[in-house]
Amino acid sequence: MIKYLSVIMLVLAASCSFKGITVSENITYMEEGFLGELPEKQLNVFAPKNANSPLPVLVFIHGGSWRSGSKERYGFFGRRMARRDIVTVIIDYPLSPQYQIQAMALATAKSLDWVASNIEGYGGDPERIVVSGHSAGGHLAALVAIRDTYFDSLEMESPVTGAALIDAAGLDMYHFLVNQNYEPGTSHLKTFTNDPNVWKETSPIYYLHGDMPPMLIMIGGKTYPSILEGTARFMDAYKDFVPKPDYKVQRNKRHIPMMVQFLYTPGRAFRWVRDFVKEID
């Protein structure tokens, strides 16, 4: 069985290798001391070679409970999307406990500022930028897609034209933290502070509105209970604005496999994201 799976992986890798791409790594999008407090952070760009016209752009934000993870783990995602004619950007952002949630959201907005200003040089279309993320990254993607306040802080307009959420955490972090009643200093409170006002300000559910960019929302049916509950609450509110949402439930998927499945390009999740990005006007 192991030998059989190895052969399959080799075939899949070979099938994705025919289309040439360029990988530009560790590009600084935010200098040390930005806004007086933020650290230097980088991103990687995966772009098809010899594109004939500006291509749609996907900016991906990794998960890790807001306190771990890195862009290096997701090169497979960037390469596979780039080989399907999507310029893909994978970012790093400040992590807890050194930084808190508002700093993460500002850094995410700053990365999108860099993309909007520079992606043409990599064959991307700055008028078609989709932000995406898994888990905590899905939370940040939703937050900046729905709330313009982080872009207002940078004195720019939001360049986000769509959002693809992959098993996003924290869509109603206020409700979650109120019910958990954590002691001060526990992990999530190091990220979201002890202030309930911050919990609400960084919960996308409370800022839904009629002018939101389109969203693809994916969830695993066997993911963490907190994500199941938070997403259910989010979808109930979201349907007030989008009665027929682009909502995909993969009933047998757990949280980590919701991202691992993107190793397999013919899979339906890969096709959902690919098609969503390409259909953004």
Helices (H), 126-267: 136-146, 149-153, 173-180, 187-192, 196-201, 225-238, 257-260
Is residue 14 situated within a structural domain? no
Q: Using CA atoms, how far apart are residues 169 and 69, in angstroms rounded to an integer?
A: 15
Three-state DSSP class for residue 205: helix
Tokens of 82: 């780039």
Structural domain harbouring 204: 21-279
Q: Using CA atoms, how far apart are residues 47 and 273, in angstroms rounded to an integer?
A: 17
Instruction: Please answer whether residues 226 and 176 qualify as being in contact, where contact means their C-beta atoms are separated by less than 8 angstroms.
Output: yes
> What backbone phi and psi angles, to 5 degrees, belong to 58?
-120, 120
Is residue 8 situated within a structural domain? no
Spacing of C-alpha 194 from chain mean position: 25
Is residue 7 situated within a structural domain? no
pLDDT of res. 18: 55
pLDDT of res. 11: 44
Is residue 15 situated within a structural domain? no
Is residue 54 situated within a structural domain? yes
The CATH number of the domain holding residue 83 is 3.40.50.1820
Q: What is the pLDDT along the chain (281 residues), one digit of tens a residue?
A: 434 434 444 444 444 445 799 999 999 999 999 999 999 999 999 999 988 889 999 999 999 999 999 999 999 999 999 999 999 999 999 999 999 999 999 999 999 999 999 999 999 999 999 999 999 999 999 999 999 999 999 999 999 999 999 999 999 999 999 999 999 989 999 999 999 999 999 999 999 999 999 999 999 999 999 999 999 999 999 999 999 999 999 999 999 999 999 999 889 999 999 999 999 98
pLDDT of res. 221: 98
* Sign of the torsion angle spanned by Cα atoms 29, 109, 98, 188: negative
pLDDT of res. 43: 98
* Inter-CA distances, 106 with 111, 137, 173, 180, 208, Å: 9, 13, 18, 26, 19
Token pair 């938070």: residue: 230
Is residue 194 situated within a structural domain? yes
Is residue 6 situated within a structural domain? no
Q: What is the count of structural domains for the chain?
A: 1
Is residue 145 situated within a structural domain? yes
